[in-house]
Chains A and B, each alone.
Chain A
Amino acid sequence: ELKVEQNPLFLSMQEGKNYTIYCNYSTTSDRLYWYRQDPGKSLESLFVLLSNGAVKQEGRLMASLDTKARLSTLHITAAVHDLSATYFCAVDMYANTGNQFYFGTGTSLTVIP
């Protein structure tokens, strides 16, 4: 079974600082997704990474994918309070029953003014 692990699980950082969230997965896949979830809300799609070496950037967030290392990173630049949320990575893998989507453990980010 595919395992998807994120670290850290909890992150508290000051505004203006940089940090990276890591997502490791245990088997071959070349499709990785990042989502944001605000408290009590559904998931908002941030990035879709479809190939080795893919890099996507949106505002203060940048995501990358290394399929050989089975690693994706979500880098936060000059954090602002509005980025406080829980971030999930998810890996898409084809199984006998069809596509299956495995979520990471989530990283709860709090940005302190």
Chain B
Amino acid sequence: LAKTTQPISMDSYEGQEVNITCSHNNIATNDYITWYQQFPSQGPRFIIQGYKTKVTNEVASLFIPADRKSSTLSLPRVSLSDTAVYYCLVGDIYYEDSNYQLIWGAGTKLIIKP
């Protein structure tokens, strides 16, 4: 199963756009890329998922280059409440036990400053 590499931590300021890049060199053909967000004292929460090119929802955008060996989570105009740990995961979502197989790293701790 593909492992991912992300920066351990990042700082930014309110109102800025934040981009968190994840490396997944061994991504398989059937793997999707999924990002979760975890606030202190809460469980992780699904943010966005994609396979290739660009995906956008009300919370974030996900950019995936053609080789799919990396992906970038983009958070537009962050606020203090976006301070959280962000996890990047890859796996075949159509494989029945895909969630069991997921490897969770330490994530990226994003701190937003006033």
Query: Do A and B associate with each other?
Result: no
B residues engaging A (CB < 8 A)?
A: none
A residues engaging B (CB < 8 A)?
A: none
